[in-house]
Amino acid sequence: MRRRGMPLMRVAATTAVVAGTAGAVSHHQQQKYAGQEAAGQQAQDQAYQQGVADAQAQQPAAPPPPPAPAAPPPAAAPAAPDLTAQLQQLAQLHTAGVLSDEEFAQAKQKLLAG
């Protein structure tokens, strides 16, 4: 008895061709969409970079830094101790016996000479 319709081999071959074609089409579409997505991402990146550049261009230039403060004036030399206080200190040392009459006279003369 002869079967009607397509032989089994032909059906299998047709199915393989259809499946292979579907796979190839699917792969092609995936590559196409990936390329479109990459191009879209690149366009977004360029737009972002342009926006950043525009924003930076619109910002006012930073004011120059304030000038460095002037150096403080040099500290005045410490005022010479009061002459009277120094003479009193010498007198106390003389009275205590630390300075002899001669040492006291020399130190006093030195202070008075300036």
DSSP codes, 12-63:
HHHHHHHHHHHHHHHHHHHHHHHHHHHHHHHHHHHHHHHHHHHHHHHSPPPP
Contact 72, 62 (CB under 8 A): no
> Can you give the pTM of this predicted structure?
0.32
Mean pLDDT over the full length of the chain: 78
pLDDT beyond 80 at 72 = no
pLDDT of 75 reads 66
Query: Exposure of 21 by Cβ count < 10 A (0-12 exposed, 13-18 middle, 19+ buried)?
Result: exposed
CA separation for the pair 24, 30 (Å, rounded): 10
